[in-house]
């Protein structure tokens, strides 16, 4: 690892609380602009790895769609996070009608997608219902983007009405949110920020037009990496780090090569897009870990010293113990 790459990795691991701790899960979600939760257990893993407690975590965070995926977020952050992808209803009028009925049903106490399917069965054809009430999101994604609904809690499949509509425009929040992104994820390129926020083509142009004079920068190859230099002690890259599935260190950047060697990519990122929990040795992914049937598992892509293997198993066992009654 060359010196510039090492500096980038040290700063990222510091910003993402992988070489220091953050004891409060809500503060962690605030600092990291949400915790990725395709599977809700990954939020628990991510929190414990970073030193946060899980007490009350199921309701401490709000599970909803931001950027381009499901995240657990600090509720007060939602209006500004949603403003990054705000705008009018994006689906057709037929689905807008269904969405309005979904809101009406929720006002009447119906929160289950399955129950809504039964109610709509006689009013719409099967394909329309499948599209609108898809288990991958359907109209619920649009309603969440508008700040009208979120999941009931971090582990529930049902929804609740919320009031988190964006009150500021995309142009107003972008400079602030870009600064917050760099504070935790920097050094990062503009392409990284566009990927992280899930910006569409026109909004990418606004990102690239930001005044960047106040940020420090590093150059590596043809890329410019921006960061906020607050003179904090970055610490060393930990010898061993467990990373959650969809961990921010891996999935938050357009180029994952800094932490995920290309030869291991297919073992870590499935064809379905699922990113598995991994083990980093000196900042580079070197194996997989997980909890299966209530027991910790760990494997490496290449042979590692017994000391490394034993320590990883101890770390995974500790997370297994802490999550046994929490997820």
pLDDT tens sequence across 238-254: 999 999 999 999 999 99
- Return mean pLDDT, the chain: 95
Tally the C-alpha atoms within 13 A of residue 284's C-alpha that lie toward its C-beta: 13
**Which DSSP state fits 168?**
S
Tell me how far apart the alpha carbons of residues 107 and 236 are, in angstroms, rounded to a whole number: 52
Determine what percent of the chain falls in helix, strand and coil, rounding each to the nearest 5.
Answer: 45, 15, 40
Instruction: Please compute the mean of the pLDDT values over residues 279-284 and round it to a whole number.
Output: 97
Spatial distance between the Cα atoms of 194 and 208, rounded to a whole number of angstroms: 9
The pLDDT-based confidence of 327 (bands split at 50, 70, 90) is: confident
**Look-up of token digits 């770390």:** 315
State the residue for tokens 């037009």: 209
pTM for the complete prediction? 0.95
Say how far apart CA 15 and CA 11 lie, in whole Å: 6
- pLDDT on residue 302: 96
What is residue 216's three-state secondary structure? strand
207, 199 contact by CB (below 8 A): yes
The predicted-structure confidence for 31-75, as pLDDT tens digits, reads as follows: 999 999 999 999 999 999 999 999 999 999 999 999 889 999 999
The pLDDT value given to residue 326: 83
Give residue-wise pLDDT tens across range 217-231.
999 999 999 999 988
Beta carbons of 28 and 35 less than 8 angstroms apart = yes
Say which DSSP state 263 is in: G
Query: How many helices and strands, by DSSP H and E, does the chain display?
Result: 15, 11
Over residues 149-155, mean pLDDT: 97
The rounded distance, in Å, linking the Cα atoms of 99 and 140 is: 8
What is the four-CA torsion angle of 64, 70, 75, 80, rounded to 10 degrees?
Answer: -100
């Amino acid at each position: 690892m060359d010196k510039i790459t090492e500096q980038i990795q040290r700063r990222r691991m510091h910003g993402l609380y992988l070489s220091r701790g953050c004891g409060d899960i809500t503060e962690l979600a605030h600092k990291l602009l949400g915790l990725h939760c395709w599977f809700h257990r990954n939020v628990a893993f991510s929190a414990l790895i970073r030193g946060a407690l899980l007490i009350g975590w199921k309701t401490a965070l709000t599970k909803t769609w931001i950027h381009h995926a499901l995240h657990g977020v600090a509720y007060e952050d939602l209006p500004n996070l949603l403003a990054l992808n705000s705008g009018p209803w994006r689906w057709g009028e037929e689905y807008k009608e269904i969405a309005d009925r979904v809101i009406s049903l929720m006002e009447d106490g119906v929160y289950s997608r399955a129950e809504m399917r039964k109610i709509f069965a006689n009013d719409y054809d099967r394909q329309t219902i499948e599209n609108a009430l898809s288990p991958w999101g359907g109209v619920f994604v649009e309603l969440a983007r508008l700040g009208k609904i979120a999941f009931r809690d971090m582990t529930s499949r049902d929804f609740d009405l919320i009031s988190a509509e964006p009150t500021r425009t995309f142009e107003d929040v972008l400079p602030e949110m870009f600064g917050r992104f760099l504070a935790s994820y920097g050094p990062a390129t503009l392409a990284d920020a566009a990927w992280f926020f899930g910006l569409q083509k026109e909004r990418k142009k606004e990102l690239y037009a930001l005044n960047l004079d106040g940020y420090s920068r590093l150059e590596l190859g043809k890329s410019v990496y921006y960061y906020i230099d607050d003179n904090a002690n970055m610490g060393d890259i930990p010898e061993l780090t467990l990373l959650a599935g969809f961990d921010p260190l891996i999935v938050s950047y357009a180029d994952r090569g800094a932490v995920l060697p290309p030869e291991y990519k297919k073992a870590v990122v499935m064809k379905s897009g699922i990113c598995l929990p991994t083990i980093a040795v000196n900042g580079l992914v070197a194996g997989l870990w997980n909890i299966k049937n209530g027991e910790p598992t760990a494997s490496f892509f290449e042979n590692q010293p017994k000391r490394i293997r034993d320590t990883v198993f101890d770390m995974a066992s500790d997370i297994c113990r802490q999550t046994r009654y929490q997820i």
